[in-house]
Amino acid sequence: MNSYQKEQIEALSLVQAYLANLALDARQALESQIADYLLFRDDVDAFLDAHFSDVCTLKCFKSKISACCSRDSIITFFGDVVVNALVTPEEEINALRSVLQKPNKGFKCVYLGKQGCMWRVKPIVCEMFLCKSASEEVLAPKPEAAKTWEAMQQRKKLFTWPDRPVLFDDLERIFLDAGYSSSLMYMHNSPGLLRIKKQAKSGEQ
């Protein structure tokens, strides 16, 4: 297990521990809190399936020319881990734990299985990443699709960009208040994101 895998499994373990001790009504409240985000992700999935499925399969799985799913380079937010844990059956979470505990001898992401990504709700960075060649092939000749994709990029910020109260920041705060801490809590430990939050608060005054 390398440092990347250790960081990932530590975050997953503490999320599992927190959820395991959560009362039913509290868990339901948490699930309700992520509902709008899941609707957004459904929209993104539908768009990508309609426009990029064939292209990305070729570039990522067959020709291997894309930077997508590169080994140990995927940025995972703590909010990603929480959302995925809330919607994923225990046996699939255990499969993630299992793969993280094994050496990754390949050149691709540790989470990339034979059927694709092992996450039910992929990390947002992965979901919204389009390599240059795929973008040029699909979006350049389709202005309306490009416009839709840009709108989705803006919607993403409503959940992840802390220049206002956002879901990913709120999820980290819930766990911090419960005594849990993770290096993946970028909303509370990234200098850049902390600066954005500070500037946003200054603008409100």
Does the pLDDT of residue 60 top 80, yes or no? no
pLDDT value of residue 67? 59
Please give the model's pTM, rounded to 2 decimal places.
0.90
Task: Say which amino acid occupies 59.
Answer: K
**pLDDT 10s digits, 87-101:** 999 999 999 999 999
Average pLDDT, the chain: 88
Does the pLDDT of residue 174 top 60, yes or no? yes
141 confidence band (pLDDT: 50, 70, 90): confident
| Greater pLDDT, 10 or 138 | 10
205 confidence band (pLDDT: 50, 70, 90): very low
64 confidence band (pLDDT: 50, 70, 90): low
pLDDT value of residue 130? 81
Does the pLDDT of residue 63 top 60, yes or no? no
What span, in angstroms and rounded, lies between the C-alpha atoms of 126 and 135?
Answer: 15
**pLDDT 10s digits, 72-130:** 667 899 999 999 999 999 999 999 999 999 888 776 788 888 777 899 999 999 899 88
**pLDDT 10s digits, 23-49:** 999 999 999 999 999 999 999 999 998
Does the pLDDT of residue 156 top 50, yes or no? yes
User: Taking the domains of the chain in order of start, what are their residue ranges?
Assistant: 3-204
